[in-house]
Homo-oligomer: A and B are copies of this chain.
């Protein structure tokens, strides 16, 4: 058993299927992904706030404390849930050029987040190390393989796209989290409040924006809006590529 492996949190060891030498004693009943799936089910149904050790344990039919045989803390449970929620990334046709490829990748990330909006609420304290998270990274990097970018630049570009997708989705996730109001009602309410508070004398730019009827763009995530920002991000990467190939 590798020394570095021992430092790994329990959940990561289980997710990667790392095992020490054969040991006596009972085998674990559950698979770590059972726990992740249970957490995902709860979060999908009632939001991240509905995920507690006790509820997840009940969902898998175990007692609260038994979860700690698989997961060292609630933060690790979150890690497992995120891995489960993203799932195995759909492969991206390799014949696509980088721009079409990373656009497809961005759309897939976006869809995953929209399926499980609570992902954006999970507080993160560690960089990603779980298997499927790394597969998503790998997939994203691969579509940039044909570009003249350096390895570091590819990584930064992928991270940039990822940042954008998450950030853009967050603007709509806020809206999702209201069971009592529809998204339209939320938008209208926000617009009304902005008009009341952002008076033209103190906030001329905001007032003009609201007056232009574009407050929708602030809170909205219309595919067009999403594409708008993504286009800008990709144009930026394109500029980097151009600079790279010219030198």
Contact A229 B197 (CB under 8 A): no
Contact A155 B197 (CB under 8 A): no
| Chain A residues engaging chain B, CB cutoff 8 angstroms | 2, 4-5, 7-8, 16, 121, 123-127, 129, 131, 134-135, 137-138, 141-142, 145, 150-157, 159-160, 162-164, 166-168, 170-171, 174, 177-178, 189-190, 192-194, 196-198, 202-206, 208-209, 212, 214, 217-219, 225, 228-229, 231-240
Contact A232 B233 (CB under 8 A): yes
Alpha-carbon gap, A125 to B153, bound state (A): 34
Q: How far is the CB of A222 from chain B (nearest CB, A)?
A: 11
Contact A209 B151 (CB under 8 A): yes
The secondary-structure label for the interface of chain A is helix
Q: How far is the CB of A93 from chain B (nearest CB, A)?
A: 17
User: A204 contacts which chain B residues (CB < 8 A)?
Assistant: 138
Q: How far is the CB of A30 from chain B (nearest CB, A)?
A: 22
User: A5 contacts which chain B residues (CB < 8 A)?
Assistant: 196
Alpha-carbon gap, A25 to B5, bound state (A): 65
Alpha-carbon gap, A208 to B154, bound state (A): 11
Closest 4 CB pairs of A and B: A232-B236, A163-B167, A152-B214, A141-B205
Alpha-carbon gap, A171 to B126, bound state (A): 9
List 13 A-B pairs, Cβ < 8 Å. A2-B196, A127-B171, A134-B198, A138-B205, A151-B214, A153-B228, A156-B225, A159-B218, A167-B167, A232-B233, A235-B235, A235-B238, A236-B239
